[in-house]
Structure 1
């Protein structure tokens, strides 16, 4: 059963609608004791990384999140929170991944934010991407990206520059795209996560 961490910066409705379509049971985590009710966790997120981190700190759940040993998935800003630092708000984040979240450079060819479908290319094998072909399209909405890193990048995408579309370290996973808005392959990824 998946516990969705509620901290006031997540688009929970679209995520819960996707989980309901897939028949994946879930519940909400509002306080530390709630973590014991679930066997995997999702950190959703939309908007500003610095503001999201401030809201997360206000919940008092940060030490618990950093100590989790069960599968944990950050989505969009939820993924960025797992990194060490974001240029958005000049903010220190959870530091679970020793990599940074950077802003896309402005250019005439690539508009910021990066909004829409983009191909994703696995960099390593992992059950999270089981039955998802190389180059599958996922839906992105973001102005900031996580730098590509040979150690932690699980899959990559290209928009102006190559960046981490997903990351993985031990039990922690992050996806920059929105699997709940990415059609069949996004649903496959959520099902895969529910079985990790």
Structure 2
């Protein structure tokens, strides 16, 4: 746990309480990976307001920003993406997402992809950082759930799972929690992931068909 062992994490968190949020950039730059994970997770557990972004949400936002302002990575013209310029920082973020912040990071990733209505292409920038089979399987299972919800006849029932993943109020208008739209966003992400790594043991191209409801 590096210099945060033996109570030092609590001391750092106490010092950061005066700030509205942890400075993610400084944390990633100045601390070792286990210490970063410890601070992010402990700060997240202390934040009980699910309607605002916690440290893991802000960490994903930071990773997305660094990728969006990075260099182009286009394995196919249908899937234009960006990746982080600093390879050392990129590796640290990848390790955090896929190992040190798992499983707590999974819901934040699902929420990020599901809520990103207006700039869905930028989801690929975060998807490029995902390596874990467990996270990819969660993405696929959520996609399959949304796909089934499309055929629910009751509007409130149809949107309830999307709202849960978005951590939106039940009173949120159903039009912004469409399971079809959310499924399409996750399908795009899953197709992109399949371009970059072998996921045949999790899903196939046929499994991603919107008509393939089981």
Larger strand proportion of the pair: 1
Higher Cα Rg, which structure: 2
Same topology, TM > 0.5: no
TM-score under structure 1 length normalisation: 0.30
Identify which of structures 1 and 2 has the higher relative contact order when contacts are C-alpha pairs closer than 8 Å and 6+ apart.
1
Q: Which has more helix, going by share of residues? A: 2
